[in-house]
Chains A and B, each alone.
Chain A
Amino acid sequence: GAVVSQHPSWVICKSGTSVKIECRSLDFQATTMFWYRQFPKQSLMLMATSNEGSKATYEQGVEKDKFLINHASLTLSTLTVTSAHPEDSSFYICSAHKAGSPYEQYFGPGTRLTVT
């Protein structure tokens, strides 16, 4: 099967610091990865789309200087939350589209970020 991992699974950081979240496709190459944010009891909201080797495309309202996305290889994308504030506390989920597959995306298990 297609497996996507995220690291860390949860993180607590202090306000003003930066935190990096990794998303890896373990057994397939992912040409495109997506980053979602999910608040409690709400749906997934797309933050950005990242393609390997090119700049990420951010959704309207998402600050690209605050949420830095790097897709350096076909198996790794990273999301860095810079100068984190308590309102950035959320559940962040990545998904990866398998190269050559027209269908579903494969989701990571998510990362819970708490900013104190």
Chain B
Amino acid sequence: AQTVTQSQPEMSVQEAETVTLSCTYDTSESDYYLFWYKQPPSRQMILVIRQEAYKQQNATENRFSVNFQKAAKSFSLKISDSQLGDAAMYFCAYRSALTHGGSQGNLIFGKGTKLSVKP
């Protein structure tokens, strides 16, 4: 079974600074997807960034980028120029690329990292 581990329950960053959130995962599969989701106090899950395992290039989305190390099974999220609106819970998630009867599989989430941004 696949597992996702986020070893940092809480992190804090100064506004405009850079912070990196850690995530490791365990799987025997070679093809999969990795995601970072943000959950603000409203509790609406928001996709931050996605990485396909077959791609060597790290994904980037504006101020958000990942460091994907497939051999090490590591998938960290870097937030540059942190803003007050970045304060939220961040969840790392894994999903197999295998389909089941034509349906996509479910997401497996880590326990989350609570990010605080200091003004």
Contacts and interface: CB of A to CB of B under 8 A. Distances in A.
Interface of A: 31-32, 34, 38, 42-44, 46, 49, 51, 91, 93, 95, 97, 102-105, 107, 109-110
Contacts of A51: 101, 103
Task: Decide if the interface of chain A is mainly helix, strand, loop or mixed.
Answer: strand
A97 B103 contact: yes
Nearest to A51: B103
The 8 closest A-B pairs by CB, nearest first: A107-B45, A32-B103, A43-B109, A97-B104, A43-B111, A109-B44, A44-B109, A110-B43
Contacts of B101: 51
Interface residues on B, range: 20 to 34
A103 B50 CA distance: 8
Task: Decide if the interface of chain B is mainly helix, strand, loop or mixed.
Answer: loop
26 contacts: A31-B103, A32-B104, A34-B106, A38-B43, A42-B111, A42-B112, A43-B109, A43-B110, A43-B112, A44-B91, A44-B107, A44-B109, A46-B106, A49-B103, A51-B101, A51-B103, A95-B107, A97-B103, A97-B104, A102-B97, A103-B33, A103-B50, A104-B35, A104-B47, A109-B43, A109-B44
B102 interface: yes
Contacts of B97: 102
A105 B111 contact: no
Contacts of A43: 91, 109-112
A109 to B, nearest CB: 5
A33 B90 CA distance: 22
Given A32-B104, A46-B106, 9 more contacts: A31-B103, A34-B107, A42-B112, A44-B45, A49-B106, A93-B43, A95-B45, A103-B50, A104-B50
Given A43-B91, A107-B44, A109-B42, A102 B104 contact: yes
Interface in B85-106: 91, 97, 101-104, 106
